[in-house]
Structure 1
Amino acid sequence: MSWKTLEQSQEKVVKMLTNSIHRDRLAHAYIFEGARGTGKKEVAFQLAKSYFCKERTSVEPCQRCSDCKRITSKNHPDVHLISPDGQSIKKQQVEHLQKEFSYRGVESKQKVYIVEHAEKMTASAANSLLKFLEEPNSPTIAILLTENIHQILRTVLSRSQVLTFAPLKREQYVDQLVESGMTRAMAVCLGTITTNISEAEKFSQDDWIVQARNVVLQLTEEVHSRPQHVLFTLQEKWLPLFQGKDQADIGLELLLLWYRDLLYIQMDNKAECVFVDQVERLEQQALYSSQDKIQRQMTAIFEAKRHLHANVNPQLLMEKLLFKLQEG
């Protein structure tokens, strides 16, 4: 891993940190905040390498020296990772960290502390951490990683430099989902619904999202060519699967994405399609439609999404929507 590689997904964060390394003006405390999967921990350990590496070229650690190798393997004596013990980071963990702060470095005067899921610190743990931030034992760097910055004490925030990690670009995000074991078709679909890795993994559990996608594909085919089956599929498959507003909203979002893909096909823009494994079907349906009709169908889905959150009966809402989609 190099700063150049990390810069491809987190350009602003990397430029700020590498400029600080180059000028020898690193802060004593950082908060890296952003969604899971955006590279916070990778950047934290890369910063530790640049901080300790004696063979680095400009800001790039050599990745070959003893310091770099031990940081990579997570066993450097002066780089400490604190993670939640159960559901929280407890005061005792921070007190242990405080003792470590009071010692001189095992092999140097430098120390780096990385606190994972910092928002899970108990109130007493967070207050104990303030001592480190108010009276830094230089040269030390504390790096707090969080997905929920609003849950961190304001006093901790005020004593740290906050760096916000941007969501991954769609291509990077999809590649990461594929690496986790998803098919590319499903990864593209989930990558359009959410940019949060945790949420995507939650959707993929128990194959719920696979079933949801299949029901949407069946319903769009029946709207197009088997209208007599639409209400049966609604009763037997849609309503039992999409229970509650959140799941129903995802179902409507998938429907919307299908008709948006139809519009992309009409515009000869296949590269933007979400249902990447259904292009042949999309092209077939597009032959019997028009851009005006598709836009009316998309408008009907937008209206259904708006009414869904106004406590409209889900069955009546879907029956009305399906009639509009068939009518065009």
Structure 2
Amino acid sequence: MFDQIIIDEKNKYILSKAIDYNRVNHCYIFVGPEGTNKRKTAIEFSKAILCSVDNKPCNHCTSCNKMDSGNHPDFIEIFPLESSIKISQIREIQKKMNVKSYEGDKKVFIINNCETMGIPAQNSLLKTLEEPNAGVYIILISESKERILPTILSRGQILYFNPLDKETFQSSLRKKYSLKESLLDDVYELSQGCIEKAENIIKNPEEIDQFKIFRKYIFSIMKGDYSQIFEFSKWIKDEKLSNEYIINNLLILFKNALYAKVNGSLNVYKEISECLTYEGFHDIIGNIIILQGDLKYNVNLQLQIERLLLRIQEEKLINDKGHRNTV
């Protein structure tokens, strides 16, 4: 189990032992950023729960074959509708929980992006978690547990899916792909250690070239070439880059620059790390995180991004003035 899925070894161990000793909890909560293979792990774990033989998953029985073909009647998966999980969706799966399983004596339900549930939907789900039906297993998948009710969190086993450290990340990819070391570095930077994102980037290497152009614009702005702010805005419009893509890449760049400043890293971010104070970096990163939260609202993010870049100009002037005052 999990041979083809790159995740933290601790999570592999916990889930594998639960299957081996037939001690599967009725509810699991997989928490971690996008691209950390939470859903793939949940599906493989579900496959093992529903497998009808001892060596689970056997990949040969009727149940495993149906899971592989995506038509197992006792495996139900739901996704947000119009950006959130609705109470109607929760009520619908509750009805299915009360129906006898079609094969065997187990049913598995996966709720993706469960942090998008409103309070009514969460309270409805809570009733099910408080009095679970025998043979019903629920896996909640979330990017963050902050918006999930504590009462729900207390009724499930939480497993954290974190980005991999650079050494583990690159070692895992070397086993699956034949890549140059320089490309591995680029993939790690762009994916931030999220292995699922990394595999998508490897399949679409043009993303790396686009990211380098993006980075070049931001570096020029940070060095003081403020004419690039409007050139950058024009470029992102011409390239039709999504707001999510822009904000995520800004966060990657400024986190890397701050890391280089803290650790004195001798990498591409070393020179840029001297452009802002520590406070300046924290201020910009905080603003980017706020913009990230605004993605779900109808705000003019293009204008907000331009304001953010102008804010970088202000922070650089503060930094430069600080240096001059110390001379």
The residue that corresponds to 2:42 in the other structure is: 44
The residue that corresponds to 2:156 in the other structure is: 160
* TM-score, scaled to structure 2: 0.66
Q: Structure 2 regions of 5+ residues with no counterpart?
A: 178-182, 234-245, 284-310
Q: CA–CA distance in 2 between the matches of 1:13 and 1:32?
A: 10
The correspondence for 1:101, drawn from 68, 93, 97, is 97
Q: What are the equivalent positions in structure 2 for 1:296-315 lying under 5 Å apart?
A: 301=274, 304-307=277-280, 313-314=314-315
Contact kept in structure 1, 2:36 and 2:195, CA below 8 Å: no
Q: CA–CA distance in 1 between the matches of 2:226 and 2:20?
A: 64
The residue that corresponds to 1:136 in the other structure is: 132
- The Cα of 1:75 is off from its aligned counterpart by 1.4
The residue that corresponds to 2:227 in the other structure is: 236
The residue that corresponds to 2:213 in the other structure is: 211
Aligned residue-pair number: 272
Q: Does 2:187 correspond to 1:187?
A: yes
SS in 1 for 2:30: strand
Q: Residues 70 and 304 (structure 1 numbering): CA distance in 2 closer, same or farther, change over 3 Å?
A: same
The residue that corresponds to 2:29 in the other structure is: 31
Q: Residues 39 and 213 (structure 1 numbering): CA distance in 2 closer, same or farther, change over 3 Å?
A: same
- The Cα of 1:137 is off from its aligned counterpart by 0.8
Q: CA–CA distance in 1 between the matches of 2:85 and 2:253?
A: 34
Q: Residues 196 and 44 (structure 1 numbering): CA distance in 2 closer, same or farther, change over 3 Å?
A: closer
Q: Residues 147 and 249 (structure 1 numbering): CA distance in 2 closer, same or farther, change over 3 Å?
A: closer
Runs (4+) of structure 1 moved beyond 6 Å? 216-220, 321-324
Q: CA–CA distance in 1 between the matches of 2:251 and 2:52?
A: 56
- The Cα of 1:95 is off from its aligned counterpart by 0.9
Q: Residues 188 and 248 (structure 1 numbering): CA distance in 2 closer, same or farther, change over 3 Å?
A: closer
SS in 2 for 1:166: coil
Q: CA–CA distance in 1 between the matches of 2:255 and 2:156?
A: 42
Q: CA–CA distance in 1 between the matches of 2:83 and 2:220?
A: 42
Identity percentage of aligned residues: 28
Q: Residues 210 and 166 (structure 1 numbering): CA distance in 2 closer, same or farther, change over 3 Å?
A: same
1:29-84 per-position Cα deviation (integer Å, ceiling 9, x unaligned): 11111111111111111111111212352xx4122222112212321000000111
SS in 2 for 1:150: coil
Contact kept in structure 2, 1:173 and 1:191, CA below 8 Å: no
1:111-164 per-position Cα deviation (integer Å, ceiling 9, x unaligned): 000000111112111111112111111111110000011101111111111111
- The Cα of 1:195 is off from its aligned counterpart by 5.5
Contact kept in structure 2, 1:90 and 1:121, CA below 8 Å: yes
* TM-score, scaled to structure 1: 0.65
Q: CA–CA distance in 2 between the matches of 1:170 and 1:20?
A: 29
- The Cα of 1:238 is off from its aligned counterpart by 6.2
Contact kept in structure 2, 1:84 and 1:90, CA below 8 Å: yes
Contact kept in structure 2, 1:33 and 1:149, CA below 8 Å: yes
1:170-226 per-position Cα deviation (integer Å, ceiling 9, x unaligned): 3676769x9xxxx7675344246x86988x99xx99x87433422477799xxxxxx
Q: CA–CA distance in 2 between the matches of 1:190 and 1:241?
A: 19
Contact kept in structure 1, 2:80 and 2:116, CA below 8 Å: yes
The residue that corresponds to 1:66 in the other structure is: 62
Larger radius of gyration: 1
- The Cα of 1:314 is off from its aligned counterpart by 3.7
Q: Does 2:147 correspond to 1:151?
A: yes
The residue that corresponds to 1:123 in the other structure is: 119
Q: Residues 109 and 126 (structure 1 numbering): CA distance in 2 closer, same or farther, change over 3 Å?
A: same
SS in 2 for 1:151: coil
Contact kept in structure 1, 2:35 and 2:194, CA below 8 Å: no
Contact kept in structure 2, 1:32 and 1:165, CA below 8 Å: yes
Q: Residues 261 and 239 (structure 1 numbering): CA distance in 2 closer, same or farther, change over 3 Å?
A: farther
1:235-267 per-position Cα deviation (integer Å, ceiling 9, x unaligned): 4336864999x9599469559859x8984xxxx
SS in 1 for 2:25: coil
